[in-house]
Amino acid sequence: MGTENPNHANNYPRPSAPPFARQSNTLFSSSRSVVASQAAPFRPTSVPAPLSSVPAPPSTAPSLPFGTVVGSAVPGFRPMQTGRPTAPYGPPTTGPFQRFPTAPYLSTPQAPPPHTSPVGQPVLPPTMRPPPPSQVSPMPTFQNRQPHIQPMPMGSPPPSMNGVLSSNNAPQLVNSQYFSSSSNMQRPQPPMGPSHPDAVRASSSSAWPGYPGIQSSTATPAAPVSHQGGYAPPPPTTSAPFSSQGGYGPAPPVASPLGMYVGGSTPPTGVMPGLVEDFSSLSIGSVPGSFDAGLDTKVLPRPLDGDVEPSSFTQMYPMNCNSRYLRLTTSAIPNSQSLVSRWHLPLGAVVCPLAEAPEGEEVPIVNFATTGIVRCRRCRTYVNPYVTFTDSGRKWRCNICALLNDVQNDYFAHLDASGKRVDLDQRPELTNGCVEFVAPAEYMVRPPMPPLYFFLIDVSIYSIQSGMLEVIAQTIKSCLDRLPGNPRTQIGFITFDSTIHFYNMKSSLTQPQMMVVSDLDDIFIPLPDDLLVNLSESRTVVDAFLDSLPSMFQDNVNVESAFGPALKAAFMVMSQLGGKLLIFQSTLPSLGVGRLRLRGDDIRAYGTDKEHALRIPEDPFYKQMAADFTKYQVAVNVYAFSDKYTDIASLGTLAKYTGGQVYYYPSFHSAIHKDKLRHELARDLTRETAWEAVMRIRCGKGVRFTSYHGNFMLRSTDLLALPAVDCDKAYAMQFALEETLLTTQIVYFQVALLHTSSSGERRIRVHTAAASVVADLGEMYRQADTGAVVSLLGRLAIEKSLSYKLEEARNAIQLRIVKALKEYRNLYAVQHRVGTRMIYPESLKYLPLYGLALCKSTALRGGYADSQLDERCAAGFTMMALPVKKMLKLLYPSLLRVDEYLVKSSTQADEFEKLCKRLPLAAESLDSRGIFVYDDGFRLVVWFGQMLSPDISRNLVGEDFATDFSRVSLVERENEMSRKLMAILMKLRGADASYYPLCHLVRQGEQPREGFFLLSNLVEDQVGGMNGYVDWILQIHRQVQQ
Condensed to tens digits (0 to 9), the pLDDT of residues 117-140 reads 444 444 444 444 444 444 444 444
What pLDDT was estimated at residue 293? 59
Contacts of 983 (CB under 8 A, 6+ apart): none
Q: Give 90 or 966, the one with higher predicted confidence.
A: 966
Give how far the C-alpha of residue 393 lies from the chain's centroid of Cα atoms, to the nearest Å: 41
What is the dihedral angle through the alpha carbons of 420, 425, 427, 428, rounded to the nearest 10 degrees?
A: 120
Tell me: pLDDT of 864 over 90.
Answer: no
- Separation CA 463–CA 894 (nearest Å): 34
Condensed to tens digits (0 to 9), the pLDDT of residues 203-238 reads 333 334 333 333 433 334 444 443 443 334 444 443
Of the listed ranges 12-16, 565-569, 1003-1007, the one predicted with least confidence? 12-16
- Nearest CA among 881, 356, 989, 354 for reference residue 637: 881
3-state secondary structure (DSSP) of residue 786: helix
**Taking phi first (over 0 means left), then psi (-120 to 50 degrees means alpha), and beta for anything else, what does residue 769 get?**
beta
Q: What is the DSSP letter of 370?
A: G
Of the listed ranges 237-241, 607-611, 1022-1026, the one predicted with least confidence? 237-241
Other beta carbons less than 10 A from residue 958's beta carbon: 13
Structure pTM? Answer: 0.75
Give how far the C-alpha of residue 278 lies from the chain's centroid of Cα atoms, to the nearest Å: 22
Tell me: pLDDT of 608 over 90.
Answer: no
- Separation CA 349–CA 330 (nearest Å): 9
Residues 325-330, mean pLDDT to the nearest whole number: 96
Averaged pLDDT score across all residues of the chain? 79
- Separation CA 855–CA 849 (nearest Å): 10
- Nearest CA among 432, 430, 425 for reference residue 388: 430
Tell me: pLDDT of 105 over 60.
Answer: no
Buried b (16+ CB within 10 A) or exposed e, 70-88: eeebbbbbbbbeeeeebeb
Tell me: pLDDT of 272 over 90.
Answer: no
At residue 177 the predicted structure's pLDDT band, cuts being 50, 70 and 90, is very low
Condensed to tens digits (0 to 9), the pLDDT of residues 1005-1039 reads 998 899 999 999 999 999 878 899 999 999 999 99
What pLDDT was estimated at residue 292? 54
* Alpha carbons within 13 A on the beta-carbon side of 535: 24
Give how far the C-alpha of residue 309 lies from the chain's centroid of Cα atoms, to the nearest Å: 7
What pLDDT was estimated at residue 527? 85
Residues 399-425, mean pLDDT to the nearest whole number: 94
Condensed to tens digits (0 to 9), the pLDDT of residues 683-742 reads 999 999 999 999 999 999 899 999 999 999 999 989 999 999 999 999 999 999 998 899
Separation in Å, CA 22 to CA 74, 126, 129, 535, 845: 10, 21, 20, 93, 44
Residues 594-616, mean pLDDT to the nearest whole number: 85
Condensed to tens digits (0 to 9), the pLDDT of residues 344-401 reads 999 999 999 999 998 888 999 999 988 899 999 999 999 999 999 999 999 999 999 9
Condensed to tens digits (0 to 9), the pLDDT of residues 480-510 reads 999 999 899 999 999 999 999 999 999 999 9
Percent of the residues in the chain that have a pLDDT greater than 70, as a whole number: 72
